[in-house]
């Protein structure tokens, strides 16, 4: 039996356990999947060894020793714990958004675009800078519209989708921090040249964030 075939059979056993209403024994797995009971037991014991399944005693069928049953081990809801931890970042949505923006800046600084040569005369396109960093961090750009120094970008918050559903202020803050850091690092003259606004995408669909870049108004003296 090849490694690939073994892996496929083990996945079938895992799926069978996950779909079962309760613990099942090796004989039931053997009958359901059409494999020898020794093969079924081999895969079941390997699932136990890797922590995906556990054994429980089953009542004997007739006279005899108790049977060994197997059931899937349900993984703890790590996403739920993560959301609880993030919610502890601040006492209000405003504080959480502010802290998330700081985290976004640090994330972008770690994975962001290289700083431009200060002697470079051409100012890079801010949309290119934003698209580069967001794509690098796992976001998906779905639409871009630019007119008169204002850029509207729709994006899927792919790496933040679960967080955005429960704590939208955190997703907004992270994206704003990413963009602000990327613009400042991409070219010194872009730092502070654009105001960055992130809000929910009002359109129907899978993408939930809308990013606006608008040239900051020059202050008068």
**pLDDT the model gives residue 220:** 45
End of a domain among 56, 72, 88?
A: 72
Same domain, 118 and 25: no
Residues of the chain below pLDDT 70: 1-5, 112-123, 186-192, 202-207, 217-221
Task: State how many domains the chain has.
Answer: 2
Cα–Cα distance for residue pair 163/168, rounded to 1 Å:
7
Domain range spanning residue 112? 78-215
Question: Taking a C-beta distance cutoff of 8 angstroms, is the pair 116, 186 a contact?
Answer: yes
Residue the block writes with tokens 């970042």: 89
Same domain, 142 and 61: no
Same domain, 87 and 35: no
Dihedral class, residue 62 (left if φ above 0, else alpha if ψ from -120 to 50, else beta):
left
Residue 32, token pair as written in the block: 């359901």
**pLDDT the model gives residue 123:** 62
Which CA distances in Å does 34 have to 12, 22, 61, 65, 169?
A: 11, 20, 21, 25, 52
**pLDDT the model gives residue 187:** 65
Same domain, 48 and 109: no
Per DSSP bridges, beta strands 150-156 and 140-147 are antiparallel
Same domain, 124 and 156: yes
């Amino acid at each position: 039996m090849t490694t690939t075939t073994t892996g496929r059979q083990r996945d079938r056993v895992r799926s069978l356990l996950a779909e079962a209403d309760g613990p099942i024994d090796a004989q039931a797995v053997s009958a359901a999947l059409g494999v020898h009971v020794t093969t079924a037991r081999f895969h079941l014991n390997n699932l136990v060894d890797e922590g995906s399944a556990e054994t429980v005693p089953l009542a004997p069928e007739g006279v005899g020793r108790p049977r060994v049953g197997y059931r899937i081990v349900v993984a703890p809801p790590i996403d739920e714990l993560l959301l609880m931890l993030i919610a502890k970042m601040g006492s209000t949505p405003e504080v959480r958004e502010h802290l998330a923006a700081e985290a976004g800046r640090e994330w972008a600084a770690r994975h962001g675009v290289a700083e431009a040569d200060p002697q470079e005369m051409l100012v890079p396109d801010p949309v290119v800078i934003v698209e580069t960093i967001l794509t690098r961090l796992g976001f998906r750009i779905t639409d871009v519209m630019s007119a008169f120094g204002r850029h509207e970008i729709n994006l899927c918050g792919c790496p933040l989708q679960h967080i955005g559903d429960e704590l939208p202020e955190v997703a907004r803050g992270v994206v704003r921090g990413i963009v602000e850091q990327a613009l400042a690092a991409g070219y010194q003259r872009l730092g502070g040249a654009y105001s960055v606004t992130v809000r929910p995408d009002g359109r129907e669909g899978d993408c939930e964030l809308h990013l606006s870049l608008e040239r900051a108004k020059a202050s008068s003296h």
